[in-house]
Amino acid sequence: MDESQIRGSLFVRLEKDSARNGGVFTRKELETGSSFGGETIALVGPTGIVFIIHIMA
């Protein structure tokens, strides 16, 4: 899976989840993230938005 596929999957998940929560996510939900290929990708970290490039190395 390349970066654009991962990002696309994350946005699909966020869009789906926003239907149930009105588009408002807690920091905890963003820290929990999503699983891709057995690895969890957090959407936010201690310094803000997380870049997902590290999983493609």
Distance from the Cα of residue 53 to its chain's centroid: 12
Q: Domain tally for the chain?
A: 1
Q: What is the pLDDT of residue 43?
A: 83
Q: Which residue has the higher pLDDT, 34 or 57?
A: 34
Mean predicted confidence (pLDDT) in 8-24: 87
Average pLDDT, integer, range 16-29: 88
**What's the whole-model pTM score?**
0.63
pLDDT at 57: 46
Among residues of the chain, what percentage have pLDDT more than 90?
A: 0
Domain enclosing residue 41, as ranges: 3-56
Q: What is the mean pLDDT of residues 25-43?
A: 84
